Structure 1
Amino acid sequence: MGVGLSILIGIKSASLFIIFAYLRTLGFTLLSIPILYASLISLLVSLASHPSINLPMLLGKNTDGSFPIWSLIMFSPYLYFVRAFSALRRLKSREQPYTEIVEGVYVGGWPSSPEKMPPGKPAVVDCTCELPRVCSGYGNGYLCVPTWDTRSPDPGGIEAAVRWACRKRTQNVPIFVHCAYGHGRSVAVMCALLVALGVVDDWKNAEKLIKEKRPYIRMNALHRKALEEWSKNRLSSPKAGSNTRY
């Protein structure tokens, strides 16, 4: 269940290893070494992102959204691959970089430039472990909930993000929850946030509301399982009268 990223990166690792072996047979030993390294890093990421292990801290992303030098060097084959892939996918996509779900509450993809940020200097909940904080426009706060692509923040991470965002909303600060594309990880957190803000009664109705506004979202079984567990054990209570219910 939900092994998408592990399989994808595992296939990438195997493909790179085949290229490495082929180059070795042709006598290109020096040229093949970086290919082997990229293959091994991909294998490590594939294992660490498997649901049974789920270790997003492997990449070393700091709480301020930056990556230490050792991580940028060690995991460069993966980190720069996902940045390039994200940029290319965004270029081909017709989807807006972010969507306003209710007034002042946005969900979307990685803001690779200031133009990709919602208006009003929002407080940002970053649900990625693989993409850096590149914009300086986080004037009202930044919270990182590091999560692998196709995985979900755990219920505790969802609760922490929701409580942080709710505090910001009481100060009338806009909220922007993002992952790589605004389809999975960020949507899971947004579902919980809409419940906590009193916009909807449960996360299933929240998902329907978000899908009406951002049709290409696609939560998987891991996202829904985490939301079910969060719903049963959550500490954050709905904010009375905060928004019109849907």
Structure 2
Amino acid sequence: MSLGISRLIAFKSLSLFWVFAYIRKMGYSLLSIPFLYASLISLLVSIASHPSINLPLLLGKKPDGSFPIWSIVMFSPFLYFVRIFSLLRRLRSREEPYTKVYDGLYIGGWPASLGMLPPGNPAIVDCTCEFPRISELSGNPYLCIPTWDTRAPQPGDIESAVKWACRKRAQSRPIFIHCAYGHGRSVTVTCALLVSLGVVEDWKAAEKFIQERRPRIHLNDLQRQSLEEWSRHRLSSPQTNKRTQVSSIIHENSSGTPHTNERTQKHAICQVGKKQTNLQNKAQDSSIPRTIDHLHKSDFQNI
């Protein structure tokens, strides 16, 4: 299991502590205090982002994408560090801030300005817990599923994001899904959305589909596991509606008169209940894995 951000921030914490110890040893005790504080905050973030804990709510990011004052003050060494690090990494990589992966669907990194936002006034799915929603985007529809860098959104969060994005697409809104760089967390959600839209058959095909358009993406083991779990629940076959079965039987057996139809309906419902009970007993006795939701028409021929 990859430690990802936990290992990186733990190394940062250790480095800051060494700086603190060195400055203190030189006799500048007061000057060393900020380094000690930054080291302790980094250690706290490292622990909270560990896969066995995974507590993105630690930073206090609100559903509207803003951070409360206490969080900005308390976690400022980490929050401003990741913003500066992100901007420097983008300058070095020269990667496009966003990529169109499908009609009306974009994926990318944190939009630090309006120039990094796709066209069309898109609805935004924010997969970060460490970056704020800038004030210029306050008019855009917005959904936040806070997730640590190198970690995976929970299957339930993925499903919520997919449903939300589908509703916005139904309103003719383009969708922009972003994380820090548009490589991992946002790709996880986008894979699920492409499957739900019927663009690809499964999330593995979706990953390849996105990589053809944004080559630097990379899903880690945690993100693949989350998608696999989402697929098992989301893509399971729907259950048959029993009322549809009853309505079909009533339609086949109705004689056309109101009173007869009412009697036929009651009779059909009773017969369906009896048939279902009998079939359940038979299935238990013979250990045949047969479900009532897949009854054949022959099961109702005597109704």
TM-score of the superposed pair, with normalisation by structure 2 = 0.77
How far, CA to CA, are the matches of 1:126 and 1:97 in structure 2? 14
For residues 219-241 of structure 1, what are the alpha-carbon distances to aligned partners after superposition, in whole Å with 9 as ceiling and x for unaligned? Answer: 1000000000000012799xxxx
Deviation at 1:137, TM superposition (A): 3.4
Offset of residue 171 of structure 1 = 1.3
Q: Which residue of 1 aligns with 2:84?
A: 84
1:199 aligns with: 199
Paired AA for residue 57 in structure 1: L
* In 2, Cα distance between equivalents of 1:140 and 1:132: 14
Aligned to 2:162: 162
Per-residue deviation at 1:140? 4.3
Please state if 1:115 is matched with 2:125: no
Count of aligned pairs between the two proteins: 237
Separation in structure 1 between the aligned mates of residue 223 and residue 14 of structure 2, nearest angstrom: 28
SS of the residue 2:83 aligns to? helix
Alignment of 1:152-231 (within 5 A): 152-231=152-231
Aligned partner letter, 2:198: G
Flag structure 2 segments of 5+ consecutive residues without an equivalent: 238-303
For the residue of structure 2 that corresponds to 1:213, the secondary structure is coil
CA distance in 2, matches of 1:81, 1:136: 22
In 2, the alpha carbon distance for the partners of 1:15 and 1:92 equals 23
Which amino acid is 1:199 matched to? Answer: V
* Shift in alpha-carbon separation, 1:73–1:138, aligned structure 2, 3 A: closer
**Alpha-carbon distance in structure 2 between the residues aligned to 1:175 and 1:138:** 15
1:38 maps onto 2:23 in alignment: no
Aligned to 2:273: none
Aligned mates of 1:89, 1:8 — CA distance in 2: 15
Aligned to 1:7: 7
Gaps of 5+ in 1: 238-246
CA–CA distance in structure 2, aligned partners of residues 165 and 233 of structure 1: 19
Could you tell me which residue of structure 1 aligns to residue 280 of structure 2?
Answer: none
Superposed CA deviations along residues 20-57 of structure 1, whole A, max 9, x for unmatched, are 11111111100100000000000000000000000000
* Equivalent residues of 1:10, 1:42 under 8 A apart: yes
Aligned partner letter, 2:219? M
Q: 1:44 to 1:14 in 2, by over 3 A?
A: same
Q: In the alignment, residue 5 of structure 2 is paired with which amino acid? A: L
SS at match of 2:212: helix
- The 3-state SS of whatever aligns with 1:88 is helix
Q: CA deviation at 1:170?
A: 1.2
CA distance in 1, matches of 2:25, 2:137: 51
Q: Does 1:126 align with 2:131?
A: no
Match for residue 244 of structure 1?
none
> What secondary structure sits across from 2:208 in the alignment?
helix
RMSD between aligned residues: 1.3
Go from structure 1 to structure 2 and tell me whether the alpha carbon gap of 1:19 and 1:103 turns closer, same or farther (over 3 Å shift): same
Percent same amino acid among aligned pairs?
A: 69
